[in-house]
Amino acid sequence: MKSPLPAFAQAPVLVVGDVMLDRYWYGSTTRISPEAPVPVVKVTRTEDRPGGAANVALNIAALGAPVELIGVTGADEAADALTEQLHSVGVQTHFQRISGQPTIVKLRAMSRQQQLLRMDFEERFNTDAEALLAQVEAVLDGVKVMILSDYGKGTLLNHQALLGLAKQRGVAVLADPKGTDFSIYRGATLITPNLAEFEAVVGHCADEAQLMQRGAVMLEELELEALLITRGEQGMTLLRKGVPAVHLPARAREVFDVTGAGDTVISTMAAALAAGESLEQAMTLANLAAGIVVGKLGTATISAPELRRALQREDGAERGVLSLQQLQAAVEDARAQGERVVFTNGCFDILHAGHVSYLEQAREQGDRLIVAVNGDASVTRLKGPGRPINSVDRRMAVLAGLGAVDWVVSFSEDTPESLITLLKPDILVKGGDYGVDQVVGAELVYAYGGEVRVLGLVENSSTTAIVEKIRSK
């Protein structure tokens, strides 16, 4: 299994743009109002989520990348809620708080996982453009990529000045454009319009050839390095000068809510580029991320473990023989999905029916099964001269082929205690007729709150007995 995620922790990003608060009211609808032909929602739960540029920053933080956010809010309760949520996940905020104007809030009434109504509370901000420019200049040296997250709400008034600052410092600029005047983004590294936004500027594209031709014209006129057009169920297309277009199909298995999908695309692109990935690899990651996020309700983020798991599915590498580093990442991903990890160990020199039955029982104890295999020298010390019959790589290959086994790893010591200490499995299992307190590593597992279980073995199944029978022939 690969560990394909970029080094997001070393990829600082600056987001500048229109921040807002997405507010959700959830409840049941069982009747129609007697006052008007509308459903009555009995609100039982409320939730606030950062939206707009704040959701872009949240997506970057969820990937594990450092992120700074500059924007404009009111001096109100919504701004306080927004700031608190962002700080709680490590987003560094720099807000102009303008008295007398509301923080942008989008209130949605939800019932049975459906949006019934949206109410927007907003006024175009009287942004102090020079002050915002100074804020950007103060933090720009500490980042590798800047995002202009433009929702046309009045925060971004000096696009070209911001682009000029970034160019002076060699910082790439990604822009999520709004409106029909894309000239304000001239000189950006990349802009990411959706198809409707692109066609609002260049006109309807009757076919792929026309889209490619008009995209090439936009690249030239706006002096862009690249243009990424997101096309909903048709995927996304990356255009660059002098390079063949790259098209990726949509990866969503089920589209539940497209809210914020564009934010996920540009945030993943930015974090990946800041981590040193190519435009094509950043696009691949963004496409996978978008496919995950549209399967969630409302403005949502994806975590690094979710993205890594999606990449592993792409590579067909969710299971198998792993290095210790790869196994640590796999366990982290499993825990992020709420899965319980089971651990067992042994020599497994000649795999027989007893082993298979035992491993099937072990797998039933949780969601993921790790099998730790003694190295060759360790087996010799434990079993004596002439053992193992099969080398460790062959033993692991056979174990990895079993349906009950998720991950196989080897260890050179006589016991797996160091592995248990590092991985902290939820459940440690062993086969035999002794008590759980006699299982190697039991005290370690109990110490951090895990469980230890002893499982039965199939009678008359033993590698040693098989070896002796063969030798006696």
DSSP bridge pairs for 70: 16, 94
| Residues 363 and 408: beta-carbon distance below 8 Å | no
The helix/strand/coil state of 109 is strand
H-helix or E-strand spanning residue 146: strand 145-149
Closest CA to 265 of 296, 249, 288: 288
- Which residues make Cβ contacts (< 8 Å) with residue 44, sequence separation at least 6? 26, 27, 28
CA distance 222 to 200: 16
Say if CB 373 and CB 409 are below 8 A apart: yes
Tokens read off for 66: 């450092």
Which tokens is 271 given?
A: 């974090």
d(CA 284, CA 275) in angstroms, rounded, equals 14
Half-sphere exposure of 212 (CA within 13 A, CB side): 10
Q: What angle do CA 212, 253, 274 make, to 5 degrees?
A: 60
Please identify which residue in the block is written with the tokens 């809620």.
81
Interatomic CA distance for residues 413 and 350, integer angstroms: 20
The secondary structure of residue 36, as a DSSP letter, is S
Catalytic residues: 263
Distance CA 431, CA 336 (A): 29
Compute φ and ψ for 77, nearest 5 degrees. -65, -35
Residue 232's region, left for phi above 0, alpha for psi from -120 to 50, else beta, is: left
If you write DSSP's letter for every residue of 297-349 in order, what string do you get?
SSS----HHHHHHHHHHHHT-SSEE--HHHHHHHHHHHHHTTPPEEEEEE--S
